[in-house]
Structure 1
């Protein structure tokens, strides 16, 4: 199933797409206002979340696809967003190009332990249609389209799309500047949905386009089968010896990297599509 979060004034509405229709779960069960509510209910009932949702799917709470327009927000309000780095060969190559200490990225790419780092908090995360940020003190900024793993109490419950916006100029100056290059206002976008029934996350097509002044200035595509790490491996590294929150998203790295010299600008639009999950679209603003 595919879950969306809609904004409804001061409250939210949880909507599910079953493949046969679109249904307002909050209208059927007012306590189900978010994916967190659904996952908590499923945990208490010791049932899969899709089974809990299916009990509240009915004709009288069916919606039109037009009801999603302009009302979608972050589909999962994760307590924390973490990310993995150097999980694709092109990412390793790009980060070596930007860095004054390039060998360290080759070491991570080939190492037993993956790179896992903290990315975002709820206040720094935006949803579909909201503007992602580029730092005012950075000269080289890029989007990073990634498959996101949604975790409830450390267990994988679904998948989403993430945009791990990064300052390559700041990180390139010194790897110790990674937190400043990665964590700042509007540094992360998540959406447009969370999908719970993806059997193999290692065979999903990913594409990204960037538009500027009505013209396409970047286009690229890849597949998650190019990852050198598995989702299970990344989740294990994130959760081991770590007090993970109730609800988290773990981004799995990127292999779509614009050519050296390209940088995002305010008013650009970034569109990221992941097979079966949808398209995450965000304008760009300076923060």
Structure 2
């Protein structure tokens, strides 16, 4: 089975680890994964910083290293020491994320805050808060006069929240999700901090932004979240979001070209499935059309004269799907179990599948920038 996009017109860019060689820049041609690493473009960062990344990928010479179906279907459990496997499709890029950009996630963040991390209070709070603010804020432009009027009304009802501030206020929530080089790729384990007992996947589209601020492509991401930790205090966002293996990306970056661009991202339908070893199954679909701030607005809030990223960045656009189905007991809602298989998919970007474990049990992150530079220098690429 291949998790890559089926559209043969797609210009795909990614990374693979080749045993005995190291991380390599790859693309897909005629069903094969092609290593296109070169001295001119030794990293994915160098490709996404090019004036024309599509031309670089299409014109690069390369070596086939395996079938795309085989590589994208690999998991951490099925990898072998002598076969290449896919990595997260970015390297030196900063890994940033935006929050509460969809009504569903806005509601759930407010519930987390009011529950103070207590899962047992969520169902009652969901009903109460829905009665106060409704369920459809998707037509409300953040920062508008209408939004500010709603803010004042909610303050009067003592229902205002810091999450509503970034959800409908003038400023987007942008935070650092993970360090460069720390994201995991398709098939890898994703990690939950073991202190958490209320957590969930966050299926998202992730845009790739060059240092100039230009959006050059998109991929899929799982912005793994600890609801109880963040719910106790927004100041614990770092602990809730940035742990070993807590950021997943892949399978490939689809570069913006004549077959794919901003309009396709804006219209994307994202699906989520969770399959547990206990027989639990969850599925849902959501639309990027419901986003409250456009990808371009979110990119502008992240990079510009106020903040530079010389190696570019990736930006999670926010989750549109917050699972609330009861799993372990009535009224207890959803939380992960180790062994859950999480698959996030869109027609245009393919599918990203990962298996849940604890961050303390996932393979530790050891291959950082210094190691990458040493590896590339040893291969004569620097």
TM-score normalized by structure 2?
0.68
Pick the aligned partner of 1:152 from 210, 219, 227.
210
Pick the aligned partner of 2:238 from 179, 187, 192.
179
For each residue in 1:213-251, what CA deviation from the matched residue of structure 2 results, as whole angstroms up to 9, or x when unmatched? 173521111111110110110000001311324131110
Aligned-pair CA distance for 1:39: 3.1
Q: Which residue of 2 is the match for residue 80 of structure 1?
A: 94
In 2, the alpha carbon distance for the partners of 1:132 and 1:103 equals: 30
Aligned-pair CA distance for 1:32: 3.9
Q: Structure 1: any 5+ residue segments left out of the alignment? A: none
Which stretch of structure 1 is more off in the superposition, 155-164 or 207-216?
A: 207-216
Pick the aligned partner of 2:247 from 188, 191, 195.
188
Aligned-pair CA distance for 1:30: 6.1
Q: Structure 2: any 5+ residue segments left out of the alignment? A: 1-10, 75-84, 115-158, 325-331, 360-382
What does 1:180-219 correspond to in 2, within 5 Å? 180-197=239-256, 198-199=260-261, 200=263, 201-213=265-277, 215-219=279-283
Indicate the structure with greater strand content.
1
In 2, the alpha carbon distance for the partners of 1:118 and 1:152 equals: 17
Pick the aligned partner of 2:350 from 275, 278, 284.
278
Q: Which residue of 2 is the match for residue 37 of structure 1?
A: 46
In 2, the alpha carbon distance for the partners of 1:161 and 1:106 equals: 26
Aligned-pair CA distance for 1:63: 5.7
3-state DSSP class of the match of 1:122? coil
Aligned-pair CA distance for 1:123: 5.1
In 2, the alpha carbon distance for the partners of 1:67 and 1:26 equals: 19
Q: Does 1:238 align with 2:302?
A: yes
Q: Does 1:251 align with 2:265?
A: no
Q: Which residue of 2 is the match for residue 269 of structure 1?
A: 341
CA distance 1:61–1:189, shift in 2 (3 Å): closer
CA distance 1:222–1:23, shift in 2 (3 Å): same
Aligned-pair CA distance for 1:62: 8.9
Q: Report if the CA contact (8 A) 1:235-1:250 is conserved.
A: yes
Aligned-pair CA distance for 1:104: 2.2
CA distance 1:252–1:112, shift in 2 (3 Å): same
What does 1:130-169 correspond to in 2, within 5 Å? 130-153=188-211, 154-169=213-228
Taking only aligned residues, the RMSD between alpha carbons, in angstroms, comes to 2.3
TM-score normalized by structure 1?
0.89
CA distance 1:30–1:88, shift in 2 (3 Å): same
In 1, the alpha carbon distance for the partners of 2:33 and 2:220 equals: 22
In 1, the alpha carbon distance for the partners of 2:92 and 2:323 equals: 28
In 1, the alpha carbon distance for the partners of 2:65 and 2:190 equals: 32
In 2, the alpha carbon distance for the partners of 1:214 and 1:33 equals: 43
CA distance 1:6–1:111, shift in 2 (3 Å): same
